[in-house]
Amino acid sequence: MNQAMKTIEGWYCLHDFRMFDWEKWKSASEEEREHAIYEIKELINMWDRIESDQKGSHSVYTIVGQKADIMFMILRPTMKELNKMETEFSKTSFANFTKPAYSYLSVIEKSSYSQVATNPYEDPAIRAKLYPIIPKTEYVCFYPMSKLRGENTNWFMLPMEERKRLMFEHIETGRPYTDQVKRIVTGSVGFDDYEWGVTLFSNEALQFKKLIYETRFDEVSAVYGIFGSFFIGNLLKQEEMEQFFHI
């Protein structure tokens, strides 16, 4: 049996993508629309307090293209709290104007490829990665991915040292983009359809294309990478909501 890479986990993560029913929204009365905006803003205010207490984090983005209209990215300490958040959202009148488009469930994960701390949970640098505040950059890029498990080429049958070599090569390719692009990597084996979720944050959308294109030439991506759909979004600040949904 091949050796499995040990991982340490942080907060649970939900990417909740919604389509917005603009026809229903335009048919609603001004009072109904105002109440819906009020309720979603109140819910986000509650999320803000949770974030201030460092008990989770969140961000809201409008999605470009036809895959979805809005993405809520939520981090919470437990799966139960993610479920509670979903229920709280569903109870708002704002939710009545949305329809689920896609979702992705995972947990922040750090592998031991570069882990050196005896107790990683006591390392401030590692804790910052396991329990982060979601960057409020102008743009976001999310995609799920897996590693190939083919009959002849199988990532999970590579020796541990070979997997380490390939991952360090991959990390080095992305190092020049450290300042321009922040990332949160989440594990989803047993939680969702792919094995990892990757969320990138930047104030310049073009940096996503440049970074992902360069890493395509790494052996770990070129030979073993399997990618799902890509979602690109713009940050939706709470003070911009009324203008965005204004008819």
Which residue among 143, 177, 194, 224 is the active-site one?
Answer: 143
Report the alpha-carbon distance of residue 247 to residue 243 in Å, rounded: 9
DSSP 3: P
CA distances from 146 to 75, 149, 156, 183, 223 (A): 21, 9, 11, 17, 12
Quick check: helix, strand or coil at residue 29? Answer: coil
CA distance 85 to 13: 11
Distance CA 211, CA 215 (A): 6
Q: Cα separation of 3 and 73, whole Å? A: 33
Cα distance between residue 223 and residue 24, in whole Å: 46
Neighbours of 246 (CB within 10 A): 8
CA distance 35 to 234: 24
Say whether 143 is catalytic: yes
The set of catalytic residues is: 143
